[in-house]
Structure 1
């Protein structure tokens, strides 16, 4: 199967389809969505960590010589610090902190639509721009994984989709809170998600002749997934401390890990025609 076609298909899967799936959650009642969304966050946490430590990092180290191991490890650390700075600039992803000026009221809005918060168009605009940049980088990382091998590309794109769905639900809530109608919120979220495909196509043509740099793109992808999981998703899970919720979270995290390992095994047999 043509590699470019696979990149386009799976970047669309990680971008556009995740938005469409997320839009279904908005049709649910507030109570139902409040129950379902945390489960998705738990599952996405396991999937992201599994792809980073089971797939991306091992493949990155396989591609470099022993003299580059320390440099590659430093790249993972640098990636974590870079994503921290990008988040501080509010151009990477939505945050969950109560002091976040752009996103601080998201949890209130997701759980209680009866409050009238007024219109904050600047927050909605920042979300759209930030998502566009985020999705573009996701497309580049998915393409880099496919250029390494198809197996890694598939599990990477599935991990992107896994964490994008709960994130997109939150983004919808922010846009509605900012005064957008449901139709406009869906339109702008889909528009921003298309940058995933654009990033994948551009990366295919620009990275194809730069194979020696692929390990560092894989390291950057791993940094992204680790940072999202430990900085964004896990703190959200810690908001619930009762035994039942904690056991459910642990089970779903391991389910996310297990699914990626299983998919990694299935994808191993896929060959390019």
Structure 2
């Protein structure tokens, strides 16, 4: 249990550091490669769902895993119908372009609040996955980090476009990353009280990741683009799939269960 807990906190720490990546990259690089990062995230998310996370959820929770996954998929569908599109704009302008999308008094707090809730769910999913198996935990952590990169880079770009300095934007994003710690801690405590909680959380995460990958990220990759950018997106998507598949194979050989 101590080893599992250590893995959970290391994965949450890696997720938090990934959320601050935007401040380390040049603005020109962000503008040029953001779509490829989105494709990479889509491949990693979908690969993790079908290769690791959902099979583990079914093994842990039984047939009810299908019900929980479907419920989370429908919940996100209805949420977007009533509240509008997903708050992350993956085609966001680079920080230097200073796009104007409304008053920062409403955009910035709503973006950070949505990000905080998202990170809470990510932390819970990572903790639940490691409690089920190390393989599921590694796959979930990779999927979360892969999605975190373009998401947080886009958020960073939007905060900079709204007038926040580099340091204030990174401080704001760093603050909301702490909710992932709360999510992981809640699952660690709850699993000692609620029997089978890990399987339920994994099933919910499967439906959530499937929704994000299939309806939020993949449609972004179908937009009109140059042949070179299209090739970059295809390569990114395949690399995301390959990363999850290879991580599962390596973990099975190197990390004892």
State TM-score, norm by structure 1.
0.84
- Give 3-state SS (helix, strand or coil) of 2:235's partner: helix
Is contact 2:27–2:94 with CA below 8 Å preserved after alignment? no
Residues 50-104 of structure 1 deviation map (CA, whole Å, 9 limit, x = unaligned): 1000001111222244xxx2x33222221111122334565995244xxxxxxxx
C-alpha distance in 2 between matches for 1:29 and 1:236: 21
For residues 109-124 of structure 1, the aligned pairs below 5 Å read 109-110=93-94, 113=97, 119-124=103-108
1:86 — aligned with what?
A: 79
Is contact 1:92–1:133 with CA below 8 Å preserved after alignment? no
Structure 1 pair 46–107 and aligned structure 2 pair: CA distance change class (3 A):
closer
Is contact 1:91–1:131 with CA below 8 Å preserved after alignment? no
1:227 aligns with 2:211: yes
Is contact 2:95–2:157 with CA below 8 Å preserved after alignment? no
C-alpha distance in 1 between matches for 2:256 and 2:67: 32
| Mean CA deviation greater in 72-81 or 209-218 | 209-218
C-alpha distance in 1 between matches for 2:189 and 2:95: 44
- Give 3-state SS (helix, strand or coil) of 1:63's partner: helix
Runs of 4+ in 1 over 6 A off after TM superposition: none
State TM-score, norm by structure 2.
0.89
> Alpha-carbon deviation of 1:114?
5.2
Structure 1 pair 93–157 and aligned structure 2 pair: CA distance change class (3 A):
farther
| Mean CA deviation greater in 250-259 or 143-152 | 250-259
For residues 192-271 of structure 1, the aligned pairs below 5 Å read 192-268=176-252, 269-271=254-256
Structure 1 pair 24–61 and aligned structure 2 pair: CA distance change class (3 A):
same
Residues 88-131 of structure 1 deviation map (CA, whole Å, 9 limit, x = unaligned): 565995244xxxxxxxxx84633761556674221100111111
> Alpha-carbon deviation of 1:141?
0.8
> Alpha-carbon deviation of 1:157?
0.8
For residues 16-27 of structure 1, the aligned pairs below 5 Å read 16-25=16-25
Structure 1 pair 117–200 and aligned structure 2 pair: CA distance change class (3 A):
closer
Is contact 1:49–1:229 with CA below 8 Å preserved after alignment? yes
Q: Which runs of no fewer than 5 residues in structure 2 stay unpaired?
A: none
Match of 1:182 among 153, 163, 166: 166
Residues 127-168 of structure 1 deviation map (CA, whole Å, 9 limit, x = unaligned): 111111110111111111011011211121111011101100
Structure 1 pair 24–5 and aligned structure 2 pair: CA distance change class (3 A):
same
Structure 1 pair 107–251 and aligned structure 2 pair: CA distance change class (3 A):
closer
Structure 1 pair 254–107 and aligned structure 2 pair: CA distance change class (3 A):
closer
Q: In angstroms, what is the RMSD of aligned CA positions?
A: 2.4
Number of aligned positions between the proteins: 255
C-alpha distance in 2 between matches for 1:226 and 1:72: 14
1:72 aligns with 2:65: yes
Structure 1 pair 24–178 and aligned structure 2 pair: CA distance change class (3 A):
same
C-alpha distance in 1 between matches for 2:18 and 2:13: 9
